[in-house]
Amino acid sequence: MHHCPWVNNCVGANNQKHFVLFVGYTALLSGYAMVLLVLRLMATLNEPRLFLTTHSHGPQEPVSMLYMFLLLFEALLFGLFTSAMFCEQLSSILTDQTGIERLKNDYAPPRRSAVQNLSETFGRPCSLLWLLPTPVTFNGLTWWDILPTEHEV
């Protein structure tokens, strides 16, 4: 468990699925934005008339190219950051170790398959609901049903 200032919340067993989906989908959409911006830049450079289209304000300024490059840079930074966060979270789930446990090398996780480790975070049984921000269930039970004393402490 750790506090994430980016989402202003603690990320732990009950909401790790939602955090992983959040950073994964943010990385995916950053990549999509980069593709759209590159296509727009290529179309603008190949067709100068697109660059000089007139609007009610007059000809389009070259400043719009600067805006597109700045947006591309922002999408690249966001994409790199969220991709790194997604890979780190996925690695922690698959190895059943946090980053600190890996650095300290003081925890021997139980031997389980990747699907079993993913099921501990995304719920059982394996389903398409893993891709949606739904409550994590384990054969119909939630964390609150499985560990009733944990939330009373």
**DSSP string computed for 18-34:** HHHHHHHHHHHHHHHHH
Strands 54-55 and 58-59: antiparallel
What pLDDT is stored for residue 13 in this prediction?
Answer: 73
Report the Cα 61 to chain-centroid distance in Å.
35
Strands 2-4 and 58-59: unpaired
Global pTM reads 0.76
Strands 9-11 and 2-4: antiparallel
Distances (CA, A) of 134 to 25, 94, 124, 126, 137: 15, 20, 12, 13, 9
- Tens digits of per-residue pLDDT, 36-84? 999 888 887 777 655 555 555 555 556 677 888 899 999 999 999 999 9
Taking the CA atoms of the chain, what radius of gyration do you get in angstroms? 22
Q: Active site includes 4?
A: yes
CA distance 44 to 143: 52
Mean pLDDT of 12-17: 81
- Of the candidates 4, 10, 87, 126, the residue annotated as catalytic is 4
